[in-house]
Structure 1
Amino acid sequence: MTELHASPTSDAPGAEASAPPMSPPDERGFETALGTILAKVDGPVVRALGIPYARAGRFEVPVPTGLPTEADGTATPYRALRRAPASPQRPSRVLEAVLEGAGEGMVDSEDCQALSITMPADVQPGEALPVMVWIHGGAYVTGAGDLDVYDPINLVVEQRVVVVSVTYRLGILGFLGDGEALPANLGLLDLVLALRWIHEHIAAFGGDPGLVTLFGQSAGADAIAHLMISDGTAGLFRRVILQSAPLGISSGRAKMASAMMRAAGAPDRDTPVGELMALEERVERAARRFGLRGGMAFGTQYGHAPLPAEGDRDAAWREAASHIDVLIGSTTEETRLYVPLIPVFARLTAMPLVGVPIRRALVGATTHLTYTRDAKAFIERHRASGGRATRYELSWAPPGSPYGASHVTDLPLLLGTERAWSRTALIGTSSWSEVDRRGRFLRQMWADFARDGSLAADATAGVSDMVTLDR
């Protein structure tokens, strides 16, 4: 790692006129093969925000990119001081109802292929820390890597790791396509290039490119499972943590994808973004008749770059098993998050006497079909193929939360701060000190796994009342 530490410049007689300008005291420079990147010192961490890793026109395959240059082509230090923009997206009922204020201050742009790096402020030259790459969820249609609720500061400071948060194309811009009129899997191709960027440049920020763990939740976990079998990713990461991956609805999607393309017609590359988002909504409606799969209409498509054909995917996962350690799991009531958001379910589960049994049956069945069943199959195949795999189940139900131990309840334990989460209904009446106490053990578990693929006894003992492990 090569750093350029900030120090004041001098106008005193005899000062070297040719000396390079130094960055302000609250900034720190890092020398990379792409050029100098200026990051911001933020208390106990340093943040290099919004670094571009790829570029692409609308509906085009991404290509690697360098740092922006001046109009005359000369390079200047890149000031990585602003969060990566989100991919254009429609308002999310989950973000609005459950994660109130999560998107506050975010801007969006079709040029959203950027990543942000958070590292300990006292990282030393030559140090090689474990790298944890966060891939956000949101059903492939909402979210961004740099949302406040995903702030990795506590994970970085407590566990002395480097965290990279990646933003990629979503929805109609990233996961429509049929491979003919439009390329498919553009958002996944974005992520492949992000991993390549990390492999090539993270050492400049104190990270070990040979010790990279991907971790993600929901659609982010689904994307990671598919990055395991994507062309061009071999050797780019050593471990994966799959949180609430909806693997039960990731197969048998070809007919739905065709119906979505018919509903989309031939999207114009020059259509205003607002009109494109309205078209995205129409495309999602076309997927609703496909049952649970329609609940995550956009997603990865087999048989299109970088993925194998659906009939070959299990063989590809078997081939990857001996090279990648897996920690996979879910919450005990994943789909309870959505019950209050779907009017018919909300009415049924609010009925006197029978409401609670109906909710339990509904949540139990859909959680099993979408998450639990296929997670178990995933680790069984992985172990049988010579890989190391552990499954967990998180049962923590925040007191006072209407959502119980649902989808997303793992996130305040791992990422974000009191300021970001205290406005949400998700943590109910829990004090932040209690959330943080539990979170410290879970953050240690995740980081221990990232370091060597093991789960330390002291961390697992600390969460024994809310996490069950299948080793």
Structure 2
Amino acid sequence: MKSQQNIGTHTFQTPSGKIIALKENGIIMAKSIRYAHSERFQKPVPVESSSSEIIFPHKTPVASQTISPLVENMIGPTHIERFEVDESTQFLSVVRPENENENEKFPVVVWIHGGSYEIGCGDLPTADPGEWVKEQHIMVVTVSYRLGLFGFLGGNGKRIPNLGLFDIIEALRWIKKNISSLGGDPENVTLMGQSSGGDAIAHLMISEGVEGLFQRVIIQSAPLGLREKRQKMTAELLRKTEFLKDNDDVLKMMDEYRKYVPSVVQYGLKAAMPFGVQYGFPPLCREDEVIEQWKKNAAAYDVLIGLNNDETAFYLKTSLTLKKYAGKGFGLTLINKLVRLTTEVIYGKPAKIFAENYAEAGGNVYQFRIHSIIKNHSLGAAHCIDLPLIFGKEEVWKYAELLKDIPWKYIAENGRKMRSLWAEFARNGSIADHSERPEILELHKVI
């Protein structure tokens, strides 16, 4: 039972209005603050200043989506009674330490969640930053944005592409305007994202209208190998789901669109992520200009980019079909080789090329890779293994198949050191050679 003496409220007066936050066990949290509104398939409109108090909603707003059985098994169950679907899902939450020094402004980390541009939200228990905030004395802002049909599919004149990116940009503008009133430093903002969240951040670096909104980025497990030559696949999905666009039942829309997702057989690995950013539409440049734009902006942002060593084991080694026919012996050897190959194609090689290009253009960039040293753990350092390291709370992760046979002590010890390094980078854009590294982490500055 929680001690009542540790629970209270804190009021912040900001340019957007008076925000009522919860104060509990050393942290202050202002949850589910609306930063924008939107109509279906239209750009977000920033919120106006409120004359009434901004308070916690009863349930956490979440973008329209379907539950992923794989994620439920690998990471943990979603308690859907705690969430409420909101098609206009432009919300953010702010978590900061309760205590601050005089004239102190906290470095701000903005968390952009992953989920293949299709599932997730900013306020999942598996990405609770409370412990990290207390431990490293930083501020974390978590952002929710439109997904799937509503956020990352368009281009036929009726549906605007890249709406999820526009949402995130609007969130960053809200942060720039208001975060100082909550104790954060608007001139020291780091974007951090995992999987599609990392991919989104890589593209925010070359988006129009983001100048001065952030200073550095942490890109974890971004599937940059799936970003090219998606136009034909996207056009097919857009055409086949056009009949759903005016449906009032968003849950029915979620059920129906999955029948029309392009096949991996026809489009290759990129079909594993049917939604994504679309080049040649605002706020992005054409696809053939992307690499030069990253190089052009090399002086603007400090970069920490990397991956887990066995990313695709998350998918391949949990496939019931593959486990049935290739779960041991020579079949298992083939799966291990396939994990190695696909991890490098989707994550490893593109991250290396990105980092080398960025460094060659004069950018400040660090590259990392997370390994597993646990014997007899078949998944190794799979996709999402970085999440409990950064946001680790044992009670949240105890049912995760991802961590099966891994002692929590191993996660806690390595996670503490990794959180310290990530916070160091967020404070000043560098990581000292003498800073303690976890044994699972390979990290170097790219020169």
Instruction: Answer yes or no: same fold by TM over 0.5.
Output: yes
Show the 5 A alignment for 1:220-299: 220-285=197-262, 289-299=266-276
Where do 5+ consecutive residues of structure 2 fail to align? 1-5
Question: What residue in structure 2 maps to residue 132 of structure 1?
Answer: 109
- Answering whether residue 338 of structure 2 is matched by residue 355 of structure 1, we say no
After TM superposition, list the pairs within 5 Å mapping 1:13-92 onto structure 2: 26-66=8-48, 75-80=51-56, 84-92=60-68
The aligned residue for residue 106 of structure 1 is 83
CA distance in 2, matches of 1:283, 1:177: 15
Question: Which of 408, 413, 432 matches 2:408?
Answer: 432
Whole-angstrom distance in 2 between the partners of 1:287 and 1:465 = 33
Report the counterpart of residue 425 of structure 2 in structure 1.
449
**Alpha-carbon contact 1:126-1:206 (below 8 Å) kept:** no
Residues 1:395 and 2:377 aligned together: no
Per-residue deviation at 1:127? Answer: 2.0
Deviation at 1:247, TM superposition (A): 0.2
Q: CA deviation at 1:394?
A: 0.5
Partner SS, residue 401 of structure 2:
coil
Q: Deviation per CA, 1:112-167, whole angstroms, max 9, x where unpaired?
A: 11000000011356321110000000111111110000000121011110000000
* C-alpha distance in 1 between matches for 2:70 and 2:213: 32
2:391 aligned residue: 415
Residue 81 of structure 1 deviates from its aligned partner by 5.8
Which stretch shows the higher mean deviation, 241-250 or 395-404?
A: 395-404
The Cα of 1:288 is off from its aligned counterpart by 5.8
1:110 aligned counterpart, secondary structure = coil
Q: Secondary structure at the match of 1:122?
A: coil
* Secondary structure of the structure 1 residue equivalent to 2:244: coil
Give the greater-gyration-radius structure (CA): 1
- Give the aligned residue type for 1:89: Q
RMSD: 2.0
Distance 1:247 1:180 in 2: 27
Cα offset, 1:192, TM superposition: 0.7
Identity of aligned residues (%): 36
Which of 204, 227, 230 is the aligned partner of 2:181? 204
What is the aligned partner in structure 1 of residue 126 from structure 2?
149
| Corresponding letter in the other structure for 1:362 | L
SS at match of 1:302: coil
Q: TM-score, normalised by structure 2?
A: 0.94
Aligned to 1:334, what secondary structure does the other structure show? coil
Q: 324, 327, 346: which is aligned to 1:370?
A: 346
Equivalent residue of 1:224, what SS? Answer: helix
Amino acid across the alignment from 2:361: S
The SS at the match of 2:143 is strand
The 1:421/1:381 distance shift into structure 2, 3 A limit, reads: same
**Aligned equivalent of 1:94:** 70
Query: In the alignment, which residue of structure 1 is the partner of 2:3?
Result: none
The amino acid that maps onto 1:462 is R
2:170 is aligned to 193
- Alignment-mate amino acid for residue 415 of structure 2: G
Judging changes above 3 Å, is the alpha-carbon distance between structure 1 residues 341 and 218 closer, same or farther for their aligned structure 2 residues? same
Q: Retained in 2: the 8 A contact 1:259–1:286? A: no
Q: Aligned partners of 1:318 and 1:203: how far apart in 2?
A: 31
Structure 1: 5+ residue stretches without partners: 1-23, 70-74
Distance 1:375 1:318, change over 3 A: same
Q: Is the 8 A contact 1:348 1:355 kept in 2?
A: yes
Q: Are the counterparts in 2 of residues 103 and 147 from structure 1 also a CA contact under 8 Å?
A: no
* Cα deviation code 1:405-445 (max 9, x no counterpart): 11111110001411111121112233333311110100011
Q: 1:398 to 1:198 in 2, by over 3 A?
A: farther
Aligned length: 440
- TM superposition shift of 1:318: 1.2
Q: Distance in 2 between matches of 1:81 and 1:60?
A: 24
The residue type paired with residue 115 of structure 1 is L
